[in-house]
C-alpha cells in the first residue's frame, strides 16, 4: 500500500532556525541543544534541570527516569539511522488504515478496509514522555535535531501563539513556540 503523504520536507525557514539554534550558544545551559549524542549522565542532569526550571518543584524520580529513557530512545533511533524523520508517519505494513495528508487538516488515518468493532488497529508507545507542566516544552531541546525535524512535521493548531517569544524574541524561543504548538496539538495526558 502506498501512502498519499506529502514528501518529507522541513521548510527552509525551519531548517535555518534549527541551524541557528544548534550552532549558537544559548543564554541558559538548559536551553542549549546537544549537537552530538550526550552521555546518559548528561541527559539525566539536564532532565532534572528542565523538570524543575519553571515549576520550582521536581518530578518524582521514577518520572524523571522515564523521561530520560524516552529521550535516550530518541537518540538511539535518530542517531543510529534506524528512524528517519518521516518514518513514524508512514503507513505500517499490513495496517487496516493509511496515513494520508488531508487538505486543511494535516495528516490523519483513513481506513483501508472494513474495521471490526473492538479490533485493535494501532498500539504504540508515545514518541516522547513529558512531564505535564509548563517546563515540558524545554524537554524538546534535549532531542536530536532529526527528531525535532520530525516533530515539526506534525500538525500545529497554534502556530502563532508566541508563548516564548513574548518573553524574549530570540531564535530558541521561536523554536520553542513552534514545538509548544505541536505539543498542545498532538500530546495527551496519560497514566
87 inside domain = no
Worst-scoring range by mean pLDDT, 34-43, 92-101, 156-165?
92-101
- Domain assignment of residue 19, yes or no: yes
Which among 103-107, 119-123, 171-175 has the top mean pLDDT? 171-175
Q: What is the pLDDT of residue 159?
A: 83
Which set of grid coordinates corresponds to residue 188? 495527551
State pLDDT tens for residues 47-83.
888 777 655 556 677 877 888 888 888 888 887 766 6
In a domain, 133, yes or no: yes
According to the model, what pLDDT value does residue 53 have?
A: 62
For strands 106-111 and 97-102, give the pairing. antiparallel
Instruction: Quote the number of domains for the chain.
Output: 1
pLDDT at 76: 86
Distances (CA, A) of 91 to 1, 37, 51, 82: 8, 29, 34, 16
For 1-34, how does the pLDDT look when each residue is reduced to its tens digit (9 = 90+)?
Answer: 444 555 567 789 989 999 999 998 888 877 889 9
Domain-located, residue 65: yes
Tell me which H or E stretch contains 64. helix 61-79
Tell me: pLDDT of 182 over 80: yes
Residue with cell 498519499: 4
Report the C-alpha gap between 78 and 85 in whole angstroms: 8
Which strand (E) or helix (H) includes residue 109?
strand 106-111
Does residue 107 belong to any structural domain of this protein?
no
Evaluate if residue 91 carries a pLDDT over 90. Answer: no
* Residue 119 domain flag: no
Please state, in angstroms and rounded to a whole number, the distance separating the CA atoms of residues 148 and 11: 13
- Residue given cell 525535524 in the structure block: 149
User: By residue range, what is the domain housing residue 152?
Assistant: 12-76+127-185
Residue 185 has pLDDT above 90, yes or no: no
> What cell numbers appear for 4 in the block?
498519499
* CA pair distance 87, 85, nearest whole angstrom: 6
Q: Is residue 165 very low, low, confident or very high in pLDDT (cuts 50, 70, 90)?
A: very high
- Whole-angstrom Cα distance, residue 107 to residue 100? 5
Cell of 19: 541551524
Computed from CA positions of residues 19, 24, 27, 28, in that sequence, does the dihedral angle turn out positive or negative?
positive
Calculate the average pLDDT of the chain: 79
Q: Does residue 183 or residue 83 have the better pLDDT? A: 183
Say what the pLDDT of residue 166 is: 93
For residue 70, being part of any structural domain is answered with yes
What is the structure's pLDDT at 2?
45
The three-point CA angle 152-55-20 to 5° equals 35
Q: How far apart are CA 22 and CA 3, in angstroms?
A: 32
Is 172 part of any domain? yes
Amino acid at each position: 500500500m502506498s501512502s498519499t503523504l506529502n514528501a518529507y520536507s522541513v521548510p527552509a525557514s525551519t531548517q535555518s532556525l534549527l541551524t541557528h539554534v544548534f550552532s549558537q550558544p544559548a543564554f541558559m545551559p538548559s536551553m542549549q541543544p546537544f549537537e552530538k549524542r550526550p552521555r546518559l549522565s548528561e541527559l539525566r542532569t539536564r532532565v532534572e534541570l528542565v523538570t524543575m526550571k519553571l515549576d520550582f518543584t521536581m518530578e518524582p524520580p521514577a518520572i524523571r527516569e522515564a523521561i530520560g529513557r524516552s529521550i535516550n530512545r530518541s537518540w538511539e533511533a535518530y542517531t543510529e539511522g534506524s528512524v528517519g524523520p518521516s518514518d513514524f508517519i508512514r503507513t505500517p505494513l499490513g495496517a487496516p488504515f493509511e496515513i494520508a495528508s488531508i487538505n486543511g487538516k494535516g495528516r490523519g488515518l483513513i481506513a483501508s478496509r472494513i474495521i471490526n468493532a473492538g479490533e485493535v488497529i494501532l498500539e504504540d508507545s508515545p514518541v516522547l514522555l513529558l512531564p505535564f507542566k509548563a517546563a515540558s516544552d524545554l524537554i524538546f531541546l534535549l532531542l536530536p535535531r532529526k527528531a525535532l525535524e520530525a516533530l515539526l512535521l506534525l500538525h500545529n493548531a497554534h502556530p502563532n501563539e508566541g508563548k516564548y517569544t513574548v518573553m524574549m524574541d530570540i531564535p530558541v524561543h521561536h523554536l520553542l513556540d513552534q514545538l509548544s504548538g505541536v505539543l498542545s496539538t498532538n500530546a495527551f495526558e496519560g497514566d
